[in-house]
Amino acid sequence: MVRHRSGLTVTFRPLALAILTVFVALFVMWPVVRLVSMGADFNALTDVFGSRRFRSVVWFTMWQAAASTAATVAIGLPAAWLIGMYEFRGKHMLVSLWSAPFVMPSVVVGASFLALLPERWERSVPAIIGAHIFFNVGMVARVVGEAWATLDERFEESAATLGAPPRDQRRLAVQLLMPTIASMTGVVLSLCLTSFAIIQILGGPKRSTVESELWRQVFERGELGRASVLAGIQLLLVTGALVVSTRLRTGAAPGVRRFRPAPPLAGGVIILAMTAVTVAPLLVLVQRSLRWKGTAMSLGAYRSLGVVTPGSGLLGSGLHALATSLRSMFFATLLAILLVACASGAGRQGSRFVSALSGLPMAVSGVTLGLGTLLGFAHAPLDWRTRWWMVPILQAVIALPFGVRVLRPAVESLDPRLREAAMTLGASPAHAWWRVDAVLIRSIALSALGVCAAISLGEFGATSFLVRPRSETLPVAIGVLSGRPGTVLQSQAAALAVILAALTMMLTFSTGTTRRLR
């Protein structure tokens, strides 16, 4: 029995670790190294650090991310209190609905707020902060709320016995939850720092972050040296946020909480507010997609997706972009789930090396990865940047950390004694794994598959550097159309965004992803 298990381990773990290491080294580390090495040019360094414009871009990146993060956490904590303390009808469905925007493509979020806000607010700082809140608040509420639900009630009971009022009891709970809150704050901060599509759609040319300015330096000015310096700055900012988040991540004091019925007023207000924050932008986006040429409700925008509209900036139709995205998502998801399986089984429980390796793509923004790929795969023998399969590979690498967060805890929690019992009864190691382990993690593996598919489908930053005319993906097409004037093109952008949102939500809800992505 031990021999079989050791043979299976010796065969699988080194191979899985080798596959994971090669992919991350080749498609994450090499592009970053290639890009940052170009930023070593002294002239580029002086241009960036000596320019008032670039300093203002860095400052805006930092303060808008900090403001967005603070607002997200402040709004998410009351909802977390409701999730952690009370039980009510439809709770699990509502929490899944609130969490859905977290896996929604960022171009859909940008397009939603473009449709929701008045014209004078469409491209403004409040629009950017509001989009970031919409994107992240549900996941903050869920993660902190579920940690709140595991707090041992004896701490609060002891405080009450000593005469502490309810306010001080809640303050004690928040202190116990502070590591979880700080960890989620770091995650949200890193996401706001690397928010590219939202800034492109809602910020406009006057409000650039490091991410959007990097893109502009490449495509509008051809300044690769400056872009490389900006990529290095972005890498430092995001890595710092993720390091803090990782160091602070911990579990709450375990225990059993007795859920109470939701309070009639406070709980109802929180439910209505969170649902409105989640649903209102999407409903307005649907309404804009039906506003065709100034008429009443019409499906004209959807019917027009089969042809190329003059002035759209696209050489392919919207339906062609949809087909391209679905094809790319299929191959990216297959590769991503292979990498997720390798990361989940490559190391021993709690292996820091495997965790760091699989989480490395989160420290590299999509724009940085896309530009690094453009530069790193431009010459033989790695002249691959024009190959169609580079887009699915990058999408799979970007989806890797999220899939691992879903699958790996389940794999590490498997009891090996069940598999050993099956082998004792005569099953081979492979057959025992298939009939025992695979059955136990089947639903969670399906969730990992769903999150990988959703993220691959909605990836925008890296893809925008590699797509070619007539091969635009759905997010790229939405980004192009959203930047064009005219109600016709704006309605088409909204229609494509509705289609993309529907596909993403179908993937996440059908596979239970929003219940497990923490």
* Segment 250-271, tens digit of pLDDT: 544 455 555 566 666 777 888 8
> What CA–CA distance (Å, rounded) separates 408 from 356?
13
What mean pLDDT is predicted for residues 140-168? Answer: 68
Q: What are the residues whose beta carbons fall under 8 Å from the beta carbon of 10, sequence distance 6 or more?
A: none
If we measure between CA atoms, which residue out of 474, 421, 413 comes closest to residue 440? 413
**Secondary structure class of 312 (helix, strand, coil):** coil
Q: Which residue has the higher pLDDT, 128 or 426?
A: 128
Using the predicted structure, report yes or no on whether residue 181 has a pLDDT greater than 50. yes
Token digits for 456?
């691959």
Q: Which residue has the higher pLDDT, 503 or 165?
A: 503
> What CA–CA distance (Å, rounded) separates 55 from 59?
6
Weakest mean pLDDT among 25-29, 243-247, 352-356 = 243-247
Given this model, what pLDDT does residue 248 score?
A: 59
Residue 323: CB atoms within 10 A of its CB come to: 14
Q: Tell me: the pLDDT tens digits for 289-305?
A: 887 776 667 888 898 88
Q: Tell me: the pLDDT tens digits for 352-370?
A: 788 888 888 887 888 888 8
> What CA–CA distance (Å, rounded) separates 474 from 497?
8
Token digits for 498?
């509705």
Is there a contact between 274 and 141 (Cβ–Cβ < 8 Å)? yes
- Percent of the chain residues past pLDDT 90, beyond the cut: 11
What mean pLDDT is predicted for residues 127-149? Answer: 87
What mean pLDDT is predicted for residues 201-225? Answer: 79
DSSP H/E element including 429: helix 429-432
Using the predicted structure, report yes or no on whether residue 201 has a pLDDT greater than 60. yes
Given this model, what pLDDT does residue 97 score?
A: 83
Given this model, what pLDDT does residue 253 score?
A: 47
Q: What is the dihedral of CA 23, 27, 29, 33, to 10 degrees?
A: 150
Given this model, what pLDDT does residue 171 score?
A: 67
pLDDT band at 441 (very low <50, low <70, confident <90, very high): confident
Q: Which residue has the higher pLDDT, 146 or 454?
A: 454
Computed over every residue of the chain, the mean pLDDT equals 79
> What CA–CA distance (Å, rounded) separates 412 from 431?
19
Report residue 124: phi and psi, to 5°: -150, 165
For residue 152, how many C-alpha atoms fall within 13 Å in the half-sphere facing its CB?
Answer: 9
DSSP 8-state symbol, 350 = T
Is there a contact between 505 and 451 (Cβ–Cβ < 8 Å)? no
Weakest mean pLDDT among 22-26, 119-123, 459-463 = 119-123
Q: Tell me: the pLDDT tens digits for 457-514?
A: 988 888 888 888 788 899 988 888 887 877 888 888 889 989 998 888 888 776 555 5
With 0.85 as the threshold, say if the pTM is over it.
no
Given this model, what pLDDT does residue 25 score?
A: 92
Q: What are the residues whose beta carbons fall under 8 Å from the beta carbon of 227, sequence distance 6 or more?
A: 35, 214, 217, 218, 371
Using the predicted structure, report yes or no on whether residue 162 has a pLDDT greater than 60. no
Given this model, what pLDDT does residue 173 score?
A: 67
Given this model, what pLDDT does residue 405 score?
A: 80
Q: Which residue has the higher pLDDT, 210 or 259?
A: 210
Is there a contact between 205 and 217 (Cβ–Cβ < 8 Å)? no
Using the predicted structure, report yes or no on whether residue 396 has a pLDDT greater than 90. yes
pLDDT band at 1 (very low <50, low <70, confident <90, very high): very low
Alpha helix positions (H), 194-289:
197-202, 210-219, 224-248, 266-289
